């Protein structure tokens, strides 16, 4: 039982719809590695991963070894790719749990080889190449060293190669990165005498047509119903998450009365203030102060005053019927009104991803499918 009405409903039907849209765009020859890092972009990693697994995703991609281990603990047995930087002291758990790490350092390769030798089976790895992002990847000048180093490790199986776009808005730069990546992948395939799995495209790369047939695609934010403004008109996506709470209390204050810490907002004539049991410790961004709105009784209500850790106020003087217990929508649809994560991000001067992953762990994620709540929710 949830004792507080501040929750996030996760629509698994919308997730499956978005997955099918991505599958159609990817074409029949490109496997998918849905990205479920950062608690599935704030949606709840386990129900999301389980649903994608059942839907036929060839891979699942995470950022941390810990996330991969969590998937294994919940019975997900398919290929799991660890995109982020793994650490040498995690090597034994990576190998024993049959996770596939992305390798960018010689030290990680060495410890993985030793762990695989002790366990008695080779560990598949993917190398990440630096092609223009300037972050984790191996520089092309260092590749000959890595090739020789890996050839001396009998328990390392080079399975794939990957990189990340710096920007898909700069198509010239993106295509230059693809050229570097393709040349490197061909060199590695010749050196090791076998074809390698290749992946570079994320949501933006897919929507910009920057993938190649047969290459794995790593869709992220698109799975959850958003494109960061790319090709929105052409892509039928459905938001997966609805964030809601309920009015705790309604109070009428005299004109000029200070509302919230420091009295940043003063009640106006006819003000009625709805106290909402949600604050910045739930992930409501403080940059949303002074710009945010919620939906109450099918109408928009401005958030007023300074957000506190556990409480936020909304001005409902223009919604005379609103009362304690009424539903409040922060993200989602109520009546004819809708607030998207893109709208919230624009008002808070950030990006959709931050809005979603900032929703705190104390907000239960409640999965729904075919209109039915599944289980008791999770964080």
The DSSP-derived string for 268-330 is -TT-EEEEES--GGGT--GGGTTT-EEEETTEEEEEES---SS-EEEE-TT-TT--TT-EEEE
In DSSP terms, 315 is beta-bridged to: 273
Among the listed residues 37, 128, 224, 280, the single catalytic one is: 37
Both tokens of 72, joined, read 């294994």
Q: Which of 23, 222, 22, 33 is nearest to 126 (CA)?
A: 33
Strands 312-315 and 299-304, how do they pair? antiparallel
Among the listed residues 3, 261, 265, 269, the single catalytic one is: 261
**Phi-psi region for residue 47, left (φ > 0), alpha (ψ -120 to 50) or beta?**
alpha
C-alpha 212/C-alpha 184 separation (Å) is: 15
Q: Would residue 261 show up in a list of annotated catalytic residues for this protein?
A: yes
Q: Would residue 248 show up in a list of annotated catalytic residues for this protein?
A: no
C-alpha 171/C-alpha 182 separation (Å) is: 16
Max Cα-Cα span within the chain: 79
Residues acting as catalytic residues: 37, 261
């Amino acid at each position: 039982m949830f004792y507080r009405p501040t929750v996030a409903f996760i629509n698994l039907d919308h997730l499956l719809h978005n997955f099918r849209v991505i599958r159609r765009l990817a074409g029949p020859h490109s496997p998918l590695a849905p990205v479920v890092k950062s608690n599935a972009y704030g949606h709840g990693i386990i129900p999301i991963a389980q649903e994608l697994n059942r839907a036929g995703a060839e891979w699942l991609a995470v950022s941390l070894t810990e996330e991969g281990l969590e998937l294994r603990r919940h019975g997900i047995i398919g290929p799991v790719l660890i995109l982020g930087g793994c650490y040498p002291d995690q090597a034994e758990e990576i190998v024993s749990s049959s996770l596939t790490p992305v390798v960018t350092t010689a030290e990680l390769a060495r410890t993985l080889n030793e762990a695989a030798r002790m366990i008695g089976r080779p560990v598949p790895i993917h190398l990440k190449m630096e092609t223009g992002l300037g972050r984790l990847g191996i520089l092309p000048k260092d590749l000959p060293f890595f090739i020789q180093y890996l050839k001396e490790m009998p328990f390392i199986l080079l399975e794939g190669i990957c990189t990340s776009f710096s920007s898909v808005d700069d198509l010239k730069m993106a295509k230059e990165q693809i050229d570097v990546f393709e040349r490197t992948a061909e060199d590695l395939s010749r050196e090791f005498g076998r074809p390698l799995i290749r992946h570079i495209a994320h949501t933006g790369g897919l929507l910009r047509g920057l993938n190649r047939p047969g290459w794995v695609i790593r869709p992220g934010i698109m799975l959850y119903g958003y494109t960061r403004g790319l090709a929105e008109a052409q892509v039928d996506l459905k938001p997966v998450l609805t964030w809601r709470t309920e009015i705790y209390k309604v109070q009428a204050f005299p004109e000029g009365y200070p509302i919230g810490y420091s009295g940043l907002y003063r009640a106006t004539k006819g003000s009625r203030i709805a106290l909402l049991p949600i604050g910045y410790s739930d992930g409501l961004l403080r940059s949303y102060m002074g710009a945010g709105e919620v939906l109450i009784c099918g109408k928009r209500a401005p958030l007023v005053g300074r957000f506190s850790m556990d409480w936020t106020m909304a001005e409902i003087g223009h919604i005379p019927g609103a009362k304690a217990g009424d539903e409040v929508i922060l993200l989602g649809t109520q009546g004819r009104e809708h607030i998207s994560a893109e709208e919230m991000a624009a008002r808070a001067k950030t990006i959709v991803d931050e809005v979603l992953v900032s929703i705190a762990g104390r907000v239960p994620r409640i999965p729904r499918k075919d209109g039915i709540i599944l289980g008791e929710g999770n964080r």
